[in-house]
Structure 1
Amino acid sequence: MGDHSRHVIISADCHGGADLTQYRDYLAPAFVDDFDRWAAEFTVPYEDMKGPDASRNWDSSRRAAELESDGIVAEVIYPNTVPPFFPTSSLASSQDGVAGAADLARRWAGLRAHNRWLAEFCQDLPGRRAGVFQIMLHDVDAAIAEVRWAHEAGLTGGVLLPGAPPGAGVPPLYDRSYDGLWSVCEELGVPVNCHGGGAGPRTGDTPVDDMFFLLDLRWWDINRFRHLVLGGVLARHPGLKVVFTESGIGWIPRELRKLDRLFDSMRSTGTGGGIAYDAASAIDDLSLRPSEYWHRQCHAGATFVHPTEMAIRDAVGVDKILWGGDYPHLESTYPFSSEAVRTAFSGVPVADTERMLAGNAAEMYGFDLDRLRGVAERVGPTHDEVGAGLDPATLPPEAAGCPAFAGLVPGAAKVRMGDNRGSGK
């Protein structure tokens, strides 16, 4: 990536969306009257989308200025605001809670409106925003058509894969009915993004339900990985690229070891060990071990990565890790992203740091690093600053709200992430 003195930082995990009334202009005409009725009764459910900072989601100039002030020169934009006809953030809604065909049609129209708004929003800052577009899984042909439209429209952030938990009304992700979707993503080089919190069902809206939803998030994220690997999706589509974002990275080496042992034991043609499986195996058609599929096709969106996670970077794969800051969520690294980078990447070789902060994201999402360096030379932290790290005692108390600083400053246990009802997740 050159001998430049400052790091290019791409956040592979940011969030955005239109103000509620803005979506009206992007809806298909047949849904406008329904939108007016829905919007008249809708109340925004998230506190951080009601106050003066809500505009961070859609105010292009404010967003660009704040990210630059934080050392970030480009971003991958996942959804955040509530799209038309959804009760909550689409990221948190998964496929569950849909009452019937009419609701499905309205929600699909709402997601398509978001995608069209997002395409224009990314064009406001060419080359520095990669928008992640949305689909639903109830109509695979419609999803395939949306992938082709989004690719043509320049939404380079790839597709957000909805959850398909039990009760969602759609088949599990390893079902062959989705093969056409995987094929078009493979054909067009469209990344498939799995964002933390989007794979599992919600059991209700009480504080107890919220607690268990948070506790179960990681399990559902890992389960989605298992379905794609052991279910044969990655084997059938070797050119498919999958990114698991905001799920942490500490689970990855453990899960790969576990699945490799399971794989060796389950194969009916092998001796295996440790796990009994007394029938012809469902995984006999897999030519690679799970860890090999990970290293061939999978990546980790390492949102607010912690120094303890950097310690296992080689086991995950330095070429697999994409740093993210989670702007504008309450638990994001903003406005301490430079401090978060210095904390996590202290002592890490410059070449490895460059890959994880920018190179991997540029390859995945099509950013032009030469184009971004001009901005980075103005706002990015220097190689020396990042390599030297920082003294945690110099961090302000407000930094304790971000998991990147967990255990490093007083109050870090009181992570803002604990009130996810305020941040759309």
Structure 2
Amino acid sequence: MTGDRYTVISADCHAGADLVDYKPYLDKRHHDDFDAWAATYVNPYEDLLADTADRNWNSARRLAELEADGIVAEVVFPNTIPPFFPSASLMAPAPSKAEYEQRWAGLRAHNRWLADFCDAAPGRRAGVAQILLNDVDEAVREIRRTQAAGLTGGILLPGAPPGSGVPELYSRTYDPIWAVCAELDVPVNHHGGSASPPLGDEPAARAVFMVETTWFSHRALWHLMFGGAFRRHPGLRLVLTEQGSGWIPGVIDMLDYYHARLVAAATRASTAESKFGAGLAGSMGSSPSEVWRDNCYVGASFMRPHEVPLRDRIGLDKIMWGSDYPHDEGTAPYSREGLRIAYAGLPREEVAAMAGGNAARVYGFDLAFLDPLAAKAGPLVAEIAEPLPPARIPPDATSPAFAPGGSVRVW
């Protein structure tokens, strides 16, 4: 932060190329298939057909809108449709064998495009590379390539929901992925909405999705913990993004309970539960709360007021605020108001950490470079310190951060 302004880094933003603009980033052998696919593809997302869709790829517009919103840097997750995908890659099911080669080509095209997009704003974008889990060696090669190409946001860990056809995330199959991320010191990101199984088209499907989607995203945490990934790769860092943060203390307590219970049971061979904890102490090494302390972070996105009092239990050094630009549920163009709702009255060093300092440390942003930008565009410390009266909530704000009654929710 500067003397009187915060340096705000959004740890949760989204971008992607317009559909046809991915073609130059594809290997030429896929061009004919791409032309045939693109000619008949119908985009299922209204926001990607609207006149505001170019916020995903128009670098100048994006920089201007983020600066107007008080934000000087961003972590960039995917948003638009990569080649050969039926829907956004965050939501698309794991590919079948027949789809696999083309889907990989599509993700590589996105990663190449994203490297150029980040180069258009040096020091201000940390691009998150995409991989598939079907071929671990191929994933490792892509991780090395994208890191060398300048994508500093690490990787987006795909979900492995039931029925996906790939091993569960606790499997040692993925050790080469954890190893290369630890070696290169890039975070493994797991984004909300990316791990739910297909739910069909029944009328209740959307409601069930809302109830279950964050739980399916949370699963990556206990899969990697109980699978021992952090013991075998102590430098591995996991970031859970846009999944809320209020759930974390309770879930860590629950995981500690099961860990202690199962480890204790394993020492008593006569108990019915002993087999469930066999080998767990050796494979995990540390307890879940210790793993959280040493290896895990939360991209808390538009943090709600009820989550803020839990910051010490979550870990003040773990929390990274995000605007979710350009999504409708994001705080733009009212991120200053969103920050006031969440952080008014807190010590300025705590706000500075959650609003930008932690993200700079996790994703490698240079605060010495960003602070002069924030001196012009960042929100005033005095402004964020003032609580936002309900009457001052912008009537056209669409983010859940502004929803009444949100303070009683804990997930």
TM-score past 0.5 threshold: yes
Alignment check: 8 A CA contact 2:267 2:274 kept = no
More moved, 40-49 vs 376-385 = 376-385
Q: Which amino acid aligns with 1:231?
A: G
Q: 1:219 aligns with which of 205, 209, 215?
A: 215
Alignment check: 8 A CA contact 1:130 1:157 kept = yes
Deviations 1:313-353 (A, max 9, x none): 00000000000010000111001001001110011111111
Q: 2:227 aligns with which of 227, 231, 255?
A: 231
> Aligned ranges for residues 236-385 of structure 1 at < 5 Å?
236-268=232-264, 277-279=273-275, 280-285=277-282, 286-385=284-383
Deviations 1:387-407 (A, max 9, x none): 2222121112112x2111121
Alignment check: 8 A CA contact 1:340 1:404 kept = yes
Deviations 1:169-209 (A, max 9, x none): 11111111111111000000011000001112112245432
> Aligned ranges for residues 60-209 of structure 1 at < 5 Å?
60-95=59-94, 98-100=95-97, 102-209=98-205
Q: Which amino acid aligns with 1:316?
A: I
Work out the number of aligned pairs and report it. Answer: 404
* Aligned residue number for residue 402 of structure 1: 399
SS in 1 for 2:134: coil
TM-superposed CA distance for 1:221, in Å, is: 1.5
Deviations 1:61-85 (A, max 9, x none): 1111111110010000100001000
Alignment check: 8 A CA contact 1:56 1:62 kept = yes
Give the Cα–Cα distance (whole angstroms) in 2 for the partners of residues 56 and 65 of structure 1. Answer: 10
Q: Which amino acid aligns with 1:40?
A: A
Give the Cα–Cα distance (whole angstroms) in 2 for the partners of residues 111 and 388 of structure 1. Answer: 44
SS in 2 for 1:93: coil
Give the Cα–Cα distance (whole angstroms) in 2 for the partners of residues 188 and 207 of structure 1. Answer: 45
Alignment check: 8 A CA contact 2:6 2:378 kept = yes
Give the Cα–Cα distance (whole angstroms) in 2 for the partners of residues 84 and 204 of structure 1. Answer: 23
SS in 2 for 1:15: strand
Structure 2: segments with no counterpart, 5+ residues: none
Alignment check: 8 A CA contact 1:392 1:408 kept = no
SS in 1 for 2:329: coil
Alignment check: 8 A CA contact 1:333 1:340 kept = yes
Q: Which amino acid aligns with 2:23?
A: R
Give the Cα–Cα distance (whole angstroms) in 2 for the partners of residues 139 and 210 of structure 1. Answer: 31
- Counterparts in 2 of 1:160 and 1:189: CA distance versus 1, 3 Å: same
Residues 1:57 and 2:53 are matched in the alignment: no
Give the Cα–Cα distance (whole angstroms) in 2 for the partners of residues 147 and 109 of structure 1. Answer: 14
TM-superposed CA distance for 1:380, in Å, is: 1.1
TM-superposed CA distance for 1:284, in Å, is: 1.9
Q: Which amino acid aligns with 2:39?
A: A
Structure 1: segments with no counterpart, 5+ residues: 414-425
Alignment check: 8 A CA contact 2:13 2:325 kept = yes
Alignment check: 8 A CA contact 2:266 2:278 kept = no
Give the Cα–Cα distance (whole angstroms) in 2 for the partners of residues 373 and 93 of structure 1. Answer: 38
TM-score by length of 1: 0.92
TM-superposed CA distance for 1:15, in Å, is: 0.4
Alignment check: 8 A CA contact 2:235 2:295 kept = yes
Identity over aligned residues, as a percent? 50
SS in 2 for 1:5: coil
* Aligned residue number for residue 38 of structure 1: 37
Q: Which amino acid aligns with 2:42?
A: T
TM-superposed CA distance for 1:99, in Å, is: 3.5
* Aligned residue number for residue 422 of structure 1: none
Give the Cα–Cα distance (whole angstroms) in 2 for the partners of residues 262 and 408 of structure 1. Answer: 33
Deviations 1:194-241 (A, max 9, x none): 000111211224543232222211111221111011111112111000
Alignment check: 8 A CA contact 2:266 2:274 kept = no
Give the Cα–Cα distance (whole angstroms) in 1 for the partners of residues 265 and 328 of structure 2. Answer: 51
Alignment check: 8 A CA contact 1:15 1:328 kept = yes
* Aligned residue number for residue 26 of structure 1: 25
TM-score by length of 2: 0.95
Q: Which amino acid aligns with 1:77?
A: V
* Aligned residue number for residue 8 of structure 1: 7
Root-mean-square deviation (CA, aligned residues, Å) is 1.9
Q: Which amino acid aligns with 2:128?
A: V
* Aligned residue number for residue 420 of structure 1: none
Q: Which amino acid aligns with 2:26?
A: L
Give the Cα–Cα distance (whole angstroms) in 2 for the partners of residues 134 and 155 of structure 1. Answer: 10
Give the Cα–Cα distance (whole angstroms) in 2 for the partners of residues 229 and 132 of structure 1. Answer: 22
- Counterparts in 2 of 1:270 and 1:87: CA distance versus 1, 3 Å: closer
| Runs ≥4 residues deviating over 6 A | 269-272
